[in-house]
Amino acid sequence: MFPSGFVALLWRKINPYSMENVVFIGKEIQRELKCQGRSGVWLARQLPCSDNYVYKLFSKKTMDADLLWRISDIMDVNFFRLYMEKWAQRGVLSKTDSDLWTKWMGFTIYSG
């Protein structure tokens, strides 16, 4: 029998949905908008969509890749890098994967 905390610890390490492995993409977009001195209203006008839709996006943990691509392009920020960094931290990416990603996206994520 495993110690009581062992299973929970193991699950957190292998569970891709544990809190340390999740990218809350809506919060990251909201944070970056604030850093750029822009608002949800600004983003809504750029997309174009309603202000209400953008503010709902801020509470989302996940997002359609096409929409994230459009937001990344509009804001000039690669939000996909957040996922790649998580994968690199978890050891999912090999050095070769990371080199290919660096060539494609223009930044280094491999830390091993």
pLDDT digits (tens, 9 = 90+) for 42-64: 999 999 999 999 999 999 988 88
Domain containing 57 equals 20-77
What is the predicted pLDDT for the residue at 62? 87
Query: Residue 7 pLDDT more than 70?
Result: no
92 lies in a domain?
Answer: yes
Do residue 63 and residue 43 come from a single domain? yes
φ and ψ of 61, to 5 deg: -85, -30
Query: Which of 102, 70, 78, 77 lies closest to 88 in space, CA to CA?
Result: 102
What is the predicted pLDDT for the residue at 3? 45
pLDDT, averaged across the chain: 76
Do residue 61 and residue 92 come from a single domain? no
Query: Which of 13, 26, 28 lies closest to 92 in space, CA to CA?
Result: 13
Cα–Cα–Cα angle for 7, 10, 15, rounded to 5 degrees: 115
What is the predicted pLDDT for the residue at 81? 84
